[in-house]
C-alpha cells in the first residue's frame, strides 16, 4: 500500500524539489535553506532505501527522474 502511494507521489515531489534546488542563491538565508533541502532530500532517499522501497526509484517511466536524482546527489 505504501509503495503504490509513494510511487504515485514521488515524481511530483521530485519535480518540486528540483525546482527549489535550481533557484538562484541570493543571500545567506537562501544558502542555508538550500543546504537544508539537500540534506533532508538525501535523508528522504535513504529512508526509502532503508525500508526496501527502492523500487520506487526505478519503476516504470522513471528513467529520466532517476537520471535527475543521480545528478542532484553528486
With contact defined as beta carbons under 8 Å apart, do 10 and 16 qualify? no
Q: Which residues contact 3 (CB under 8 A, 6 or more apart)?
A: 53, 55, 56
**542563491: which residue's cell?**
25
Q: What is the pLDDT of residue 1?
A: 79
> For the packed helices 28-50 and 63-73, what is the interaxial angle rounded to 10 degrees?
120
Rounded to two decimals, the pTM is 0.75
pLDDT for position 40: 93
Confidence class for position 63, pLDDT limits 50, 70, 90? low
Amino acid at each position: 500500500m505504501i509503495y503504490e502511494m509513494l510511487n504515485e507521489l514521488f515524481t511530483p515531489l521530485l519535480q518540486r524539489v528540483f525546482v527549489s534546488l535550481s533557484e538562484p542563491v541570493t543571500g545567506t538565508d537562501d544558502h542555508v535553506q538550500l543546504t537544508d533541502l539537500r540534506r533532508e532530500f538525501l535523508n528522504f532517499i535513504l529512508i526509502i532505501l532503508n525500508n526496501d522501497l527502492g523500487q520506487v526509484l526505478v519503476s516504470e517511466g522513471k528513467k529520466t527522474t532517476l537520471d535527475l536524482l543521480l545528478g542532484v546527489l553528486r
